[in-house]
Chain A
């Protein structure tokens, strides 16, 4: 009984790693195809490097920025801002979302404000944020916080509302008080939606970050792109764009997907993607 169980576990683990390898190949293949087309088209039509760089030029720009350390300075600055803004956003949005989910009065009062501010969330705040915090770190973190806050709070609210009422009843009839209801039922029950909110919010935040860094700082990936433009360095611009895209994919794969796998997928609360 136990033996067959562990054998089954092992073979399914093997199947899963084969599957994920195949999945990775399926994911990378179109990107490689795009690079191949790019590598063929630029010399074929003799494209002006001021319009679009060759693959080789971008590779050289990449090596240069790694060698002199500027890439890591930009990436480090950007990740720190996104990380801090997102953490502050989550830490404030989840309690508010739960309060809204529990209390119809709070929800009714705040919903119009949410509708209004979620349209404004993100880059529309850049001008006033720079007035409040000055150019640099504070303004950018504020913009990121803003992008994350509203979407996470709203999704937390949705999550609390979708918890079956019988689960709250079950907890209450087993002796759970208000605090236990919050930590044992509402938070884990809302987690699928909270994760969705974080994923969407991080997407907004990442875009907001690049926009804010173009305006309000002198280090970071957005700044790297923007400055390269002034010198017609298309190879640096394209390299920066690639880094932005790849970093986002890495954040998703290495942070969000494992989080989902360990929690809501394991609990059977969402279907495995």
Chain B
């Protein structure tokens, strides 16, 4: 079992426009257990996307450590799957080949990776779209592909960077429900970045509130699963938790 740890993580970079060094992340420590679903929420500029990009290995960190199963993380790698806000599907590959891309990189033969891809597409209700190209799909469907493409590679941690921010509100609720269902079936370890408080509470076991590059607080969410919006909008515990997190984020 793999555990992700952030130890006193910090990021400072030079801003050529301001002509000065800017600290996006001051000092963040966080331990993520296998199979946990963590939401990281905070106002824009709180450093949440910077943290995700450091864990993904897209940008180097300035201080502290990122440890996966005790080993330091440098650069991108397939044990950390990423779901992007802009979907980042390969336009020149069919849906099937997008989802099979990770297995292909591992050297899985064509027939086997097609089988894997079909299995994951079925999980997201996308079997009918297997042979289409991304530009032929709606935004919601593209992001379903983005999620299962990352999952099909069996990562130890799934990093999600505001993945549902650019789809319409109804689609977003459906995607959130599907994600909680898939999480229950597969139990991947998830770090989910969002600025949407109710989304953070709806999805997670634990909500981490960030402010100005520091962890402000952590709130455990023990709402029963499966979680469905029709139930939770009337649920007192959900409303109280959301209100508490919202208060923190607004004060942050």
Q: Which of B34-42, B82-90, B220-228 contacts A (4 or more CB under 8 A)?
A: B82-90
Interface 1/0 per residue, B43-85 and A, CB below 8 Å: 0000000000000111000000000000000011110111010
Kindly identify which residue among B58, B91, B105, B134 contacts A180, using a CB–CB cutoff of 8 Å.
B105
Contact between A268 and B101, CB atoms less than 8 A apart: no
Kindly identify which residue among A169, A185, A263, A267 contacts B58, using a CB–CB cutoff of 8 Å.
A169
- Separation in Å of the B91 CB from the closest CB of chain A? 4
Give Cα A266–Cα B136 distance, bound, in whole angstroms: 9
Given contacts A174-B102, A174-B105, A267-B133, contact A169 B76 (CB under 8 A): yes
The answer to whether the Cβ of A203 comes within 8 Å of any Cβ in the partner chain is no
Give Cα A184–Cα B106 distance, bound, in whole angstroms: 14
Q: Which residue of B76, B81, B106, B135 has the most chain A CB atoms within 10 A of its CB atom?
A: B76
The answer to whether the Cβ of A175 comes within 8 Å of any Cβ in the partner chain is yes
- Measured between beta carbons, the chain A residues less than 8 angstroms from B91 are 267-269
Contact between B92 and A189, CB atoms less than 8 A apart: yes
- Smallest Cβ-Cβ distance to A191: which chain B residue: B92
Kindly identify which residue among A169, A174, A189 contacts B101, using a CB–CB cutoff of 8 Å.
A174
- Measured between beta carbons, the chain B residues less than 8 angstroms from A269 are 91-92, 135
The answer to whether the Cβ of B5 comes within 8 Å of any Cβ in the partner chain is no
Interface 1/0 per residue, B111-152 and A, CB below 8 Å: 000000000000000001000011110000000000001100
Kindly identify which residue among A164, A175, A177, A184 contacts B88, using a CB–CB cutoff of 8 Å.
A164
- Separation in Å of the B154 CB from the closest CB of chain A? 11
- Measured between beta carbons, the chain B residues less than 8 angstroms from A164 are 86, 88
| Number of interchain pairs (Cβ within 8 Å) | 75
The answer to whether the Cβ of A171 comes within 8 Å of any Cβ in the partner chain is yes
Given contacts A171-B101, A173-B77, A174-B105, contact A166 B88 (CB under 8 A): yes
The answer to whether the Cβ of A83 comes within 8 Å of any Cβ in the partner chain is no
Looking at chain A's contact residues, is the secondary structure mostly helix, strand, loop, or mixed? Answer: helix
Contact between A175 and B78, CB atoms less than 8 A apart: yes
The answer to whether the Cβ of A41 comes within 8 Å of any Cβ in the partner chain is no
The answer to whether the Cβ of B153 comes within 8 Å of any Cβ in the partner chain is yes
Kindly identify which residue among B56, B77, B92 contacts A175, using a CB–CB cutoff of 8 Å.
B77
Contact between A184 and B90, CB atoms less than 8 A apart: yes
Given contacts A169-B82, A188-B92, A268-B91, contact A174 B135 (CB under 8 A): no
Kindly identify which residue among B77, B78, B88, B128 contacts A167, using a CB–CB cutoff of 8 Å.
B88
- Measured between beta carbons, the chain B residues less than 8 angstroms from A185 are 90
Q: Which residue of B81, B86, B91, B134 has the most chain A CB atoms within 10 A of its CB atom?
A: B91
- Smallest Cβ-Cβ distance to B152: which chain A residue: A174
- Separation in Å of the B15 CB from the closest CB of chain A? 19
Give Cα A185–Cα B101 distance, bound, in whole angstroms: 11
Given contacts A172-B76, A173-B57, contact A268 B106 (CB under 8 A): no
The answer to whether the Cβ of A176 comes within 8 Å of any Cβ in the partner chain is yes
Give Cα A258–Cα B118 distance, bound, in whole angstroms: 31
Give Cα A172–Cα B105 distance, bound, in whole angstroms: 10
Kindly identify which residue among A1, A175, A263, A266 contacts B105, using a CB–CB cutoff of 8 Å.
A175
The answer to whether the Cβ of A170 comes within 8 Å of any Cβ in the partner chain is yes
Contact residues, B139-198 vs A (CB, 8 A) = 149-150, 153
- Smallest Cβ-Cβ distance to B58: which chain A residue: A169
Contact residues, A221-273 vs B (CB, 8 A) = 263, 266-269
- Measured between beta carbons, the chain B residues less than 8 angstroms from A166 are 84, 86, 88
- Separation in Å of the A222 CB from the closest CB of chain B? 38
Contact between B153 and A174, CB atoms less than 8 A apart: yes
Contact between A267 and B135, CB atoms less than 8 A apart: yes
Contact between B78 and A174, CB atoms less than 8 A apart: yes
- Smallest Cβ-Cβ distance to A170: which chain B residue: B88
- Measured between beta carbons, the chain A residues less than 8 angstroms from B90 are 167, 170-171, 184-185, 188
Q: Lowest 10 CB-CB distances: which A-B pairs, in order?
A: A268-B135, A175-B78, A175-B105, A172-B76, A188-B92, A170-B88, A166-B88, A174-B102, A267-B91, A173-B82
Interchain Cβ contacts under 8 Å between A and B, 24 examples: A1-B128, A164-B86, A164-B88, A166-B88, A169-B58, A169-B82, A170-B90, A173-B56, A173-B57, A173-B150, A174-B78, A175-B77, A175-B78, A175-B105, A176-B101, A176-B105, A177-B105, A184-B101, A188-B90, A188-B92, A189-B92, A267-B92, A269-B91, A269-B135
B interface vs A, CB < 8 Å? 56-58, 75-78, 80-82, 84, 86, 88-92, 101-102, 105-106, 128, 133-136, 149-150, 153
Q: What would 16 more interface pairs be, CB under 8 Å, given A173-B81, A269-B92?
A: A1-B128, A166-B86, A169-B56, A169-B58, A169-B76, A169-B82, A173-B82, A174-B150, A175-B77, A175-B78, A175-B153, A184-B90, A184-B101, A185-B90, A188-B90, A268-B136
A interface vs B, CB < 8 Å? 1, 164, 166-167, 169-177, 180, 184-185, 188-189, 191, 263, 266-269
